[in-house]
Chains A and B, each alone.
Chain A
Amino acid sequence: MKSLPELEFGCLESTLVSNANLLSIKSLSVSFGGLKALSNVNLELNENEVVGLIGPNGAGKTTFFNALSGLTEVESGTLSINGKSHKWPKPHQLIDLGISRTLQGVGLFPELSVLENVMIGDNKSSKSGLISGALGLSLKDEKKLRQRALTALERVYASGIADQRADSLPYPVTKRVAIARALVSEPKVLLLDEPAGGLGAQDIEWMNSLIHNLATQCSVILVEHHMDVVMSVCDRLYVLNFGEVISSGDVEKVRRDPAVVEAYLGVNN
């Protein structure tokens, strides 16, 4: 595999933060049996903003993503996008709302090519079926989808590996392909679940730059344990502990919040 090029785009300078509210979640609660996994969580996301969702293990970060993605049943709470109220989506409806996500475990289809893996992310937009395929009528549709998938791969600097099988890729590259799959439907909101997890220092730096660049075209909610990444790319933070938001605001404010220090370090003051 060719070595991947350095990203050429800038970082914070290119992040256009506007005040237009894109996503609003109010009083989100999720329970597993008698256990309250999320309790009255509120979260706002503006256009072209990167919001970090952090907290210790078991704080409810992935549960939040799963609730928003329809993978976990929501007990109560409201969801608004661009000021319009929506029902909590089922997983296959997420893309219709302009939301796309990656998973902690990457989740590529091992026996499919990289291109096919990315094309699946935009499968819903395709109209091609058996009859149109047999008659060659779906070629135009397929070509468009293929081009969108290649563009998404270019955005993560992985177009050169489109023909490779997913199970032949090194781990850091699978992360990029997973992000490309999430990007191919051109989402307004991208949910990134530990994109830097398991990466080496160089790849983490690369991922930093990529997230900065993504924020020029969509909004991002980031769940990440690497605090260097979080502090570098996020405009605002929400801190979860035992399913509750214990702090939120800009990065510096949250960093100095005693409640956050206590949650992470287990000490008072």
Chain B
Amino acid sequence: MIRQFALPTWGSKMTEFITAILTSLSSGAIYALMALAIVLVWRSTRVINFAQAGQAVLTTYIGYTVIQRTGSYWLALVVAVISGAIIGAVIDRFFMRPIFKRVKSGPIVMIAPVVATLGLLGIIQAIIGFIWGLTNQSIEAPVSTGGYKVMGKVIAFSSYNLLVLVAVAIAMLLLTILFQRTNIGLALRASAYSPEIARLSGIKVDAVRTLGWAIAGASGGLAGMLYIPGYFLYPNAMDLLLVFGFVAAVIGGLESLFGAVAGAMILGFAINFSTTYISQKLFFPTAFIVLVLVLLIKPSGLFAAKKSRGA
């Protein structure tokens, strides 16, 4: 995906190549945040949360409102991340949990959460339309979106692209610490694998699952606030990001945080290189070509195995 503010206007082969790499990293980082949000909910509740796009766009609208009132992108970013966590927790506590308690057996057990999150996506987008309207809004990037100069030439990689990469790296580091080094992370993993055993081990599984939704919501909130500068904000603004995030999560094996980021990077590179060197028309199909290839070669995803704590 080529960002609107980073257009390569000149073109030696090498510059084109470097530009493709850097834009791949930048767009891959955004996909990674959405993929992380999807994996987090999957890991803690075994639900693919299609409402994540709605949650992310809602928190971005909240951020947009904060910017309108205070002029501060950074404050808006913090508010969006926190509100993303709260919205995620509320959705689990008052929407998903009651559904799981009522739907306990039969084939509907598999389908109900999917239908519920799809329905929720529509509801959230409708609510956004009622509150903020359907016209396109925009959020200005907090740092320069002008490409850096390398050897006298402007490349399609800006301070903003760097900010996105750093933000994703920090988010990934914090999530890795959470899951690999804390017992909250262990409880999250245990609750996902076997709620019954987790409960008998003293873990409050419902609360832990809500925490999983909250963390995913925060990740989605961060993704929205980093994605929208350079694009327009409207109720369906994150639909494509959701699709790419989902594809990236599946490529990475759905279980692994590292896999989600790696899958997103693979997707970012595949899309940017195919559109740069073959055809712009491949922007959307490339994601699915990569997905099908991965599923044919390694159906469990490229990074399904996880690191465990040893003695």
Write the residues of chain A forming the contact surface with B, with a CB cutoff of 8 angstroms: 69-71, 90-96, 100-101, 103, 107, 109-113, 115-116, 119-124, 126, 128-130, 132-134, 138, 141-142, 145-146, 150, 159, 162-163, 165, 181, 185
Contacts and interface: CB of A to CB of B under 8 A. Distances in A.
B310 A123 contact: no
Nearest to A146: B311
A162 B311 contact: yes
A113 B308 contact: yes
A141 B184 CA distance: 12
17 contacts: A71-B196, A103-B197, A111-B255, A111-B306, A113-B309, A113-B310, A116-B308, A120-B190, A122-B201, A122-B202, A128-B181, A128-B183, A130-B184, A132-B182, A141-B183, A142-B182, A162-B311
B198 interface: yes
Contact of A123 (B174, B183, B193, B196): B183
Interface in B164-189: 174, 177-178, 181-187, 189
Contacts of B203: 92, 120, 123-124
B298 interface: no
The interface residues of chain B, by DSSP majority, are classed as: helix
A133 B182 CA distance: 6
A179 to B, nearest CB: 13
A263 B294 CA distance: 58
Given A124-B202, A129-B184, A133-B177, A115 B311 contact: yes
Nearest to B190: A120
Contacts, number: 121
Contacts of B204: 92
Contact of A109 (B178, B183, B189): B189
Contacts of B305: 111
Interface in B210-256: 255
Contacts of A70: 199
Contacts of B309: 113, 115-116, 119, 146
Interface residues of B, number: 31
Nearest to A184: B201
B200 interface: yes
Nearest to B178: A130
A124 B199 CA distance: 10
Contacts of A119: 183, 186, 309
Given A111-B255, A123-B183, A150-B311, 12 more contacts: A92-B199, A92-B204, A93-B202, A109-B197, A111-B305, A113-B308, A119-B183, A121-B201, A122-B201, A130-B182, A145-B183, A163-B308
Contacts of A95: 201-202
Contacts of B12: none
B30 to A, nearest CB: 23
Interface in B113-162: none
B9 interface: no
Nearest to A130: B178
A111 B182 contact: no
Contact of A112 (B182, B183, B196, B308): B308
A185 B202 CA distance: 10
A123 B190 contact: yes
Nearest to B215: A130
Contacts of A93: 202
Contacts of B70: none
Contact of B193 (A90, A110, A130): A110
B205 interface: yes
**6 shortest interchain CB distances as A-B pairs:** A163-B310, A124-B202, A91-B199, A113-B308, A162-B311, A126-B183
Contacts of B198: 120
Nearest to A101: B200
A115 B310 contact: yes
A115 B307 CA distance: 13
Nearest to A166: B308
Given A71-B196, A138-B182, A163-B310, A112 B201 contact: no
Nearest to B192: A109
A92 B311 contact: no
Contact of B308 (A90, A100, A165): A165
A146 to B, nearest CB: 7
B190 A109 contact: yes
A10 B200 CA distance: 30
Nearest to B174: A134
Contacts of B306: 111
A111 B174 CA distance: 22
Contacts of B182: 128-130, 132-133, 138, 142
